[in-house]
Amino acid sequence: MPHFLHTVVRTFLLGFSALTLIIASSCGGTSDKNKTEKTKTVSRTQTNKSSHKKRASRNERRNEVVRQAKALLNTNYKRGGNHPITGLDCSGYVRFVFRQAWGVVLPRTSLAQSKISKPIKRRELKKGDLVFYNTRRRKFSHVGIYIGNNQFIHSPASGGKVRIENMSMSYWKKRYNGARRVKDPMY
């Protein structure tokens, strides 16, 4: 085959391959939502595989809850909210964090979350434990996640954003209902 013709055929084949890739990625492509879901699935699968090799310590697992909780700092509050994009209320926030960190699906309300977790004394608090407050004239009407150093993180109320609070503040001290520990499915 003459050199000129060889160059033309080669250029055609490279162009055709590139065009095929472009068409395949645009026609049969997945939405960003599906890509995100697939990425999460892959990440969890990889995490599950690596957990068989070396099981994370309880402290590492608790730290993961805190890391996930802090990743949502400044997320808007929304009553009944279940997702950071649209906003989260206190129990929706706790539920989202635990699903991301441990794959655990907690109940939807703070009262229900208090009932499925183990009561602990305040002096026994560890990172990742749930702290409950009476903010609506009824017990267990508000929930947050203990992050250590007498602090908790929560989604406060309408017009607010996820933030860190000191449990020693008089407002929180007066309304404290107790603490609970979510069972870690790995232990």
Check if 142 is active-site: yes
* Annotation says 90 is catalytic: yes
Find the catalytic residue in 3, 27, 83, 142.
142
CB 185 within 8 A of CB 103: yes
Domains of the chain and CATH, by start: 58-181 (3.90.1720.10)
pTM metric for this prediction: 0.72
The position carrying tokens 């183990």 is 118
CA angle 79, 82, 84 (to 5 degrees): 100
Token digits of residue 100: 């991301």
Tens-level pLDDT at each residue, the chain (187 residues)? 454 444 434 444 434 333 333 333 333 333 344 434 333 433 444 444 444 446 789 999 999 999 999 999 999 999 999 999 999 999 999 999 999 999 999 999 999 999 999 999 999 999 999 999 999 999 999 999 999 999 999 999 999 999 999 999 999 999 999 999 999 999 8
Whether 154 is a known active-site residue: answer: yes
